[in-house]
Amino acid sequence: MLHGFSGSSQDWKLLSVDGLTDFQGIMPDLRGHGRSGTLTAPFRHRDATEDIFALLDHLGIGACKGLGISAGGNILLHMAAAQPDRVKAMVLVSATPYYPAQARAIMRAFPDHLPDSEWERMRRASLPPLLVQPLDRPQRRPRPALVPPRPEFVSEAFLCG
């Protein structure tokens, strides 16, 4: 079960998988989300896809059935395209399976790394004036010394079986 962008594995907390005796529930935190490590590069669905395959490999799971919301659904689509034998079924909620040519042209216009000032300018331009407040970029904060570093993903849930 894969959460959406800006979500976490905790999004699935109220969903009970107790009655699913034929499945193992795995709910990971995607890189840069929840209890995973801080992003050191822009979030890319392809990278998150590799993380999930690595998690499945680590757990000894060859194939799975997945449920993904938004970005989680997009990651499932990437997984199915990259290794179709490993994704037996999936439920996609609010995933974008295709970006039209106009959207792809706009996405190509943005470089991988923009300065913070440019991200702030774009954020301010997209919000109503009453909602615009200085952006606190948590990925720039150093980790507290007492918290050990975590891997880019945390193994907790996907429907596998």
Contacts of 85 (CB under 8 A, 6+ apart): 63
Which strands make up the sheet holding 87-93, listed edge to edge?
24-25, 159-160, 64-69, 87-93
pTM of the predicted model, to two decimals?
A: 0.63
What's residue 19's pLDDT? 66
What distance in Å separates the CA atoms of residue 66 and residue 158, rounded to the nearest whole number?
A: 6
Cα–Cα distances (Å) from 135 to 33, 37, 61, 110, in that order, read 17, 20, 40, 20
**If phi over 0 gives left and psi between -120 and 50 gives alpha, with beta otherwise, what is residue 60?**
left
| Residue matched to tokens 């050990």 | 148
**Helix (H) or strand (E) run with residue 46 in it:** helix 45-59
What's residue 150's pLDDT? 43
**Helix (H) or strand (E) run with residue 126 in it:** helix 116-126
What's residue 40's pLDDT? 82
Domain boundaries, the chain: 9-99+107-127+145-160
- Over residues 81-128, the pLDDT tens digits come to 999 999 999 999 998 877 778 877 877 777 666 777 876 776 666 655
Q: Burial of 133 by CB count in 10 Å (0-12 exposed, 13-18 middle, 19+ buried)?
A: exposed
What's residue 142's pLDDT? 47
Largest separation between any pair of C-alpha atoms in the chain = 51
What distance in Å separates the CA atoms of residue 7 and residue 11, rounded to the nearest whole number?
A: 7
List the chain residues with pLDDT less than 70.
16-20, 111-113, 119, 122-161
